[in-house]
Amino acid sequence: MQTDNNCIVIFGASGDLTHRKLIPALYNLFKIGRLNERFCVLGVARSDLNDETFRQKMREALLNTEETTPETLEDFCRHLYYQAVNTSDASDYGKLVPRLDELHDQHQTCGNTLYYLSTPPSLYGVIPECLAEHGLNKEEHGWKRLIVEKPFGYDRKTAEALDVQIHRFFKEHQIYRIDHYLGKETVQNLLVLRFSNGWVESLWNRNFIDYVEITGAEAIGVEERGGYYDGSGAMRDMFQNHLLQVLAMVAMEPPAIINANSMRDEVAKVMHSLRPLTQDDVEHNLVLGQYTAAEIDGKEVKGYLQEKGVPANSRTETFMALRCEIENWRWAGVPFYVRTGKRLPARVTEIVIHFKTTPHPVFSQNAPENKLIIRIQPDEAISMRFGLKKPGAGFEAKEVSMDFRYADLADDQVLTAYERLLLDAMKGDATLFARTDAVHAAWKFVQPILNYKEAGGRIYEYEAGTWGPVAAEKLIAKEGKVWRKPSGLMKKKV
């Protein structure tokens, strides 16, 4: 299905996300013929740029993309425009009215407009109001949709307040809260793995599963984003959104049909079923950490407190591990261990489903574990681990693996998360975007962690390049379990 004719208005067009992710995603969609040819992009920000200088900036960003030719690049750039607007002055948005009329006429985009909010989050409530002041939210001539970048709120109260602000001018069906993890092919594949295979679904519950591990590890530090990150931390940056969404995909019930409402009903149910964290949980089932300087591969790596934009006395966590539970019939009593962090030994996102062992070990005392490892990124793969007989005398069981690499399935180019989600928003498909009730439930769940941090809760140190504080190992060891230590190399074997 092709997208409707439409004009994409990017607020924050002079910023990092626009040139690093959004324009390259649109360019690739253009190159592979997935965009309707009647489209245009209007970049908006305060910087003093014009169409030509904006195109030049974007050209430079795109020159590094694979398989580009000067002709295709120029064809694409002819669809790009720029309008300087003082984003905090409502009257200045008036400039957008004639500009958009002209572009809709020129590119025959039928008034369909996709607003992308890629500015500092403090403007997420302001921009919709300013657009509405000039009638730019009205759907009489073409649809109007709003993509809102993360973070959606800073805590439960601010997320609710932001919704109230936006809902005054845009209806829920017009709002697309982006979480790029939902755009990842392998996250969507989880649903297909679970709901298209009878044997998987029949084992996918508390009767067979011992515990679930979810890891979102990054090898990089905070890079140039210290200023932003310090106000956020691992909990707000990764856990409240990306990892809780992944957890919901692991835990949700099968939707009646695959459409935005059914899917998102099931996601919201998981968020509502998370067992509320008690004071005891935050003290005993949560570990927060911050990386310290180290030498990695012969190179000195800064500690978090030495990073640019980070106050020397910061208590922001760059690592978080949590044991949580889901209170419903499928999952009651099954621990979910979730961890995320910067400056860990590898960039890897994976889910490990640990199955229960046999009730009585017949062949050896150390029966091999049965586990299903779902590698979300990189080297996307699924690996099933189980025991088979070790060749030779006796009956010694040995762990073996059955591996599947996602790349072996793809005969077409796999879209990146931003490509997929931009395309979906242009088609009006909100299935892979976060819905308001799920976002609020996620904030409600994490609020005790925020309170714990604010009340001076403990932040452990860990050396850059390690798997986080020792306390995280102890957390999982309390139940006799261990975190998997995924290697960065999963080219052939997971």
Min CB(117)–ligand NDP separation in Å:
8
Query: Phi and psi (nearest 5°) for 172?
Result: -55, -40
Considering only residues 11-30, where is the footprint of ligand NDP by CB under 6 A? 12-17
Nearest residue to ligand BG6 on Cβ basis? 237
Catalytic status, residue 242: yes
Per the DSSP assignment, residues forming a β-bridge with 214 are 338, 351
Work out whether strand 39-45 and strand 6-11 pair parallel, antiparallel, or are unpaired.
Answer: parallel
Min CB(487)–ligand BG6 separation in Å:
17
Q: Which does 88 bind (CB under 5 to 8 A by kind): ligand BG6, ligand NDP, none?
A: ligand NDP
Q: Which of 181, 180, 189 is nearest to 147 (CA)?
A: 180
> Looking at beta carbons only, is 118 or 370 nearer to ligand NDP?
118
Min CB(236)–ligand BG6 separation in Å:
9
Q: Which of 49, 111, 110 is nearest to 80 (CA)?
A: 49
Task: Note whether 149 binds ligand NDP by CB under 6 A.
Answer: yes
Q: Which residues neighbour 39 within 8 Å (Cβ) at sequence distance 6 or greater?
A: 3, 5, 6, 7, 8, 79, 107, 109
Per-residue x/- track, 34-73, ligand NDP (CB under 6 A): -----------xxx--------------------------
Task: Note whether 88 binds ligand NDP by CB under 6 A.
Answer: yes
Query: Phi and psi (nearest 5°) for 265?
Result: -60, -45
Work out whether strand 175-177 and strand 286-292 pair parallel, antiparallel, or are unpaired.
Answer: unpaired
Task: Note whether 87 binds ligand NDP by CB under 6 A.
Answer: yes
Q: Which does 237 bind (CB under 5 to 8 A by kind): ligand NDP, ligand BG6, none?
A: ligand BG6
How far, in Å, CA of 164 to CA of 172, rounded? 11
The one among 24, 111, 121, 387 contacting ligand NDP by CB under 6 A: 121
Q: Which does 149 bind (CB under 5 to 8 A by kind): ligand BG6, ligand NDP, none?
A: ligand NDP
Q: Which does 45 bind (CB under 5 to 8 A by kind): ligand BG6, ligand NDP, none?
A: ligand NDP
User: Do 147 and 41 touch, CB atoms closer than 8 A?
Assistant: no
How far, in Å, CA of 150 to CA of 327, rounded? 28
Task: Note whether 235 binds ligand NDP by CB under 6 A.
Answer: no
Task: Note whether 419 binds ligand BG6 by CB under 6 A.
Answer: no
User: Rounded to 10 degrees, what is the CA torsion of 141, 142, 144, 147?
Assistant: -160
Task: Note whether 230 binds ligand BG6 by CB under 6 A.
Answer: no
How far, in Å, CA of 482 to CA of 83, rounded? 54
> Looking at beta carbons only, is 153 or 387 nearer to ligand BG6?
153
Min CB(488)–ligand BG6 separation in Å:
14
DSSP E strands: which ranges in 118-208?
144-148, 175-177
User: Do 117 and 12 touch, CB atoms closer than 8 A?
Assistant: yes
Task: Note whether 120 binds ligand NDP by CB under 6 A.
Answer: yes
Using CB under 6 A, count the residues that bind ligand NDP.
18
Task: Note whether 350 binds ligand BG6 by CB under 6 A.
Answer: no
Work out whether strand 286-292 and strand 460-463 pair parallel, antiparallel, or are unpaired.
Answer: parallel
CB atoms within 10 A of CB 185: 17
> Looking at beta carbons only, is 136 or 352 nearer to ligand BG6?
352
| Rg, Å, the chain Cα set | 24
The residue range among 10-18, 340-348, 359-367, 422-430 that interacts with ligand NDP, by the rule CB under 6 A, is: 10-18
Q: Does residue 121 have a cis bond before it (omega within 30 degrees)? A: no
Alpha helices, DSSP H, located in 321-376 = none
> Looking at beta carbons only, is 237 or 424 nearer to ligand BG6?
237
Alpha helices, DSSP H, located in 108-184 = 126-133, 156-167
Task: Note whether 118 binds ligand NDP by CB under 6 A.
Answer: yes
Task: Note whether 307 binds ligand BG6 by CB under 6 A.
Answer: no
Q: Looking at 242, 284, 354, 360, which residue is catalytic?
A: 242
The one among 163, 237, 307, 350 contacting ligand BG6 by CB under 6 A: 237
Task: Note whether 95 binds ligand NDP by CB under 6 A.
Answer: no
Half-sphere exposure of 420 (CA within 13 A, CB side): 20
The one among 123, 132, 191, 296 contacting ligand NDP by CB under 6 A: 123
Task: Note whether 253 binds ligand NDP by CB under 6 A.
Answer: no
- End-to-end, the C-alpha distance of the chain in Å comes to 35
Q: Does residue 391 have a cis bond before it (omega within 30 degrees)? A: no
Considering only residues 123-152, where is the footprint of ligand BG6 by CB under 6 A? 150
Coil, strand or helix: which one is 297?
coil
Min CB(79)–ligand BG6 separation in Å:
26
Task: Note whether 218 binds ligand BG6 by CB under 6 A.
Answer: yes
Min CB(234)–ligand BG6 separation in Å:
9
Q: Which of 84, 69, 83, 88 is nearest to 27 (CA)?
A: 69
Min CB(222)–ligand BG6 separation in Å:
8
Q: Would you state the structure tokens that stand for residue 264, as one six-digit string?
A: 């998102």
Binding site for ligand NDP (CB under 6 A): 12-17, 45-47, 87-88, 118-121, 123, 149-150
Binding site for ligand BG6 (CB under 6 A): 150, 180, 218, 237, 349
The residues carrying an active-site annotation are 242
